[in-house]
Structure formats: C-alpha cells, structure tokens
C-alpha cells in the first residue's frame, strides 16, 4: 500500500484557502497517535497537557523539554500522515529568543516533529522570526494560555473585554507577520475568533473558540470521555471510555479471582 501524503504547512494553508476544515487532536504516545492518524486527523499535538492527562499534575507548568521530546518521539513513530506538532513547555522559550530557538531546534532534530507550538504573542515575535528563518514551522497559541495560569488566576475565557480582544487581534497579526503558519485560539468568544480568523491569511485552530475557526482541536482524553471530573462547555465527548475501561477492568479482575481467566484456549 502506498504511503499517505504527509500533512504539511502548505497542506494546512491550502485547506484554509479551499475552505476545508482542519481536524486536530492531542496525543502523547505511539498507540493513540497511530489511531488518530488512521482516523484522518490532520494535526496531532503533543501538548504540554501531557502534564494533566498522563502525569497527573494540576497545571501544565512542570513538564520539561526532555519529557516533551520523549512523548513526541513516541508519537512520531506511530504517525505517517498527520502533522505532529510539539509544544514548547513552560520556561523553554520565555528566557530569551536564543533559548527558544535552541530548544525548538532540539525538538525538531530529536523528535522528527513537523512543527513546534508556543503560547503568547508579541513577547515571542523575535523567537518566532528566528525559528521560521531557520526552517522551523511555528504554531502560535493565543487566548487562554495555561502556562500563565498563576498570573491570571484561573481558566476563564479571554478576550471578552475590548482591550483583551484587541490584544489578541494584534498578537495574531504579529505572529503571522513573524512567520507563524497557524494559530491556536483557546477559550475566546466565538465572534472574536471568527474576526481573527477572517483577518488572517494563515489558519486558526480553535478550542472553546466557536465554529468560525479554520479547524478545531480537543485534548483526546476529553474527547474520548476518559477525564471524568473535567466538564468545560467546549468539550464534546464522543465516547465514554472511563466507564467502559472501569467495567472492563472490573470484569477482568472478577475473572482472574474466579479462575475464569485464562481459559484452556488462552493457554499453551
């Protein structure tokens, strides 16, 4: 069977221009990356949400660059077609443009990801410009920025007020000018996300940002219903895997304890 054609920055640009929507999900290992790739997901993000989903942390702040590299390597091994994007974790890009550039280079070289993502706007423009000039595709991330959670004191939507909305618009244009190929808009009013999307030539991918973005992304564990106690209104659950996994593990334990597993056919 012939290999599927890899999704690139150009593919995403053409999708925007042709009005085709981009489907994105997070993944943190080869098995899920492979499943989502087979399902036709266009962009697979190895998000710093790995901190919440895999590592059990409350915030994304403690993820290290080495951990992102470890998980991204696993995902790229499982993915043939989708663009794999790796998140630049907290403090891997904020110190200086030099630092950001070096760390993004490490991700690209060691993981074979197709792009990096970083949170923030005008404070990152030098770094974004240098990465882009060196051939590293950069995805921006505006609106709610979970790495700044302690500064803002919560996960409320961003851009509801005039000044904040204006800043998101200005940052989006700045990122585009600096060379970003795409921007994630997290938890911003649908009307603002649509205006940003229409004012940019590069695609936007929304999470809690309404249907007017060029694409949508969800954290896969939310989409599959694995996260039981996390119910923000922007999540649509397409499965109830937490309940199904609980039932399956319960049945397995019962079978083991009753001597019903393994059977003769399952033995050598």
State the catalytic residues.
186
Is 222 among the residues that bind ligand KIV (CB under 6 A)? no
**d(C-alpha 77, C-alpha 110), whole Å:** 12
| Binder among 217, 221, 223, 224 for ligand KIV (CB under 6 A) | 217
User: Measured from the CB of residue 34, what is the shortest distance to ligand KIV in angstroms?
Assistant: 18
Interaction pattern, residues 122-161, with ligand KIV; x per rule: CB under 6 A: -------------------x--------------------
Contact between 48 and ligand KIV by CB under 6 A: the answer reads yes
Q: What is the 3-state secondary structure (H, E, C) of 94-144?
A: CCCHHHHHHHHHHHHHHHCCCEEEEEECHHHHHHHHHHHHCCCCEEEEEEC
Would you count residue 47 as binding ligand KIV (CB under 6 A)? yes
Per-position x/- string for 71-100, each x denoting binding to ligand KIV as judged by CB under 6 A, each - no binding = ----------------x-------------
CA distance 213 to 235: 16
Please identify, using beta-carbon distances, which residue of 71 and 141 lies nearer to ligand KIV: 141
For residue 219, the minimal CB distance to ligand KIV (Å) is 5
CA distances from 88 to 47, 125, 161 (A): 8, 15, 28
Task: Give the Å distances, CA to CA, from 12 to 202, 208, 223.
Answer: 8, 20, 22
The least distance separating ligand KIV from the CB of residue 217, rounded to whole angstroms, comes to 5
Hey, which residues between 176 and 205 contact ligand KIV (CB under 6 A)? Answer: 184, 186
Paired residues of 138 in beta bridges: 116
Q: Which stretch binds ligand KIV (CB under 6 A): 44-52, 103-111, 158-166, 225-233?
A: 44-52
Count, residues near ligand KIV per rule CB under 6 A: 12
Q: How far is the CB of 205 from ligand KIV (least distance, A)?
A: 8
Rounded to the nearest angstrom, the gap between the alpha carbon of residue 181 and the centroid of all alpha carbons in its chain is 15
Sign of CA dihedral 111, 114, 119, 120: positive
Please give the residue ranges that form the binding site for ligand KIV (CB under 6 A): 26, 45, 47-49, 87, 141, 184, 186, 207, 217, 219
């Amino acid at each position: 069977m012939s290999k599927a054609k890899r999704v690139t920055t150009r593919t995403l640009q053409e999708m925007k221009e042709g009005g085709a929507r981009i489907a994105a999900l997070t993944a943190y290992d080869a098995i899920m990356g492979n499943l989502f790739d087979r399902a036709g997901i266009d962009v697979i993000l190895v998000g710093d949400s790995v901190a919440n989903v895999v590592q059990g942390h409350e915030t994304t702040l403690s993820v290290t660059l080495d951990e992102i590299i470890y998980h991204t390597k696993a995902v790229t091994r499982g993915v043939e077609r989708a663009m794999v994007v790796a998140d630049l974790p907290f403090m891997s890009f904020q110190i200086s443009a030099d630092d950001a550039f070096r760390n993004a280079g490490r991700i690209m070289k060691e993981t074979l990801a197709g792009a990096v993502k970083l949170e923030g706007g005008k404070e990152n423009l030098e770094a974004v410009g240098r990465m882009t000039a060196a051939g590293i595709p950069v995805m921006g991330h505006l609106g709610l920025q979970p790495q700044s959670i302690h500064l803002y004191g919560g996960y409320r939507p961003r851009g509801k007020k005039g000044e904040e909305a204006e800043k998101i618009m200005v940052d989006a244009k700045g990122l585009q000018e600096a060379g970003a190929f795409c921007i994630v808009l997290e938890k911003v009013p649908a009307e603002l996300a649509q205006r940003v999307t229409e004012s940019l030539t590069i695609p936007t991918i929304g999470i809690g940002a309404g249907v007017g973005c060029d694409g949508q992304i969800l954290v896969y564990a939310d989409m599959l219903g694995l996260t039981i106690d996390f119910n923000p209104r922007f999540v649509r659950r397409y499965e109830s895997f937490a309940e199904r996994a609980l039932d399956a593990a319960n049945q397995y334990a019962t079978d083991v304890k009753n001597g019903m597993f393994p059977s003769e056919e399952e033995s050598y």
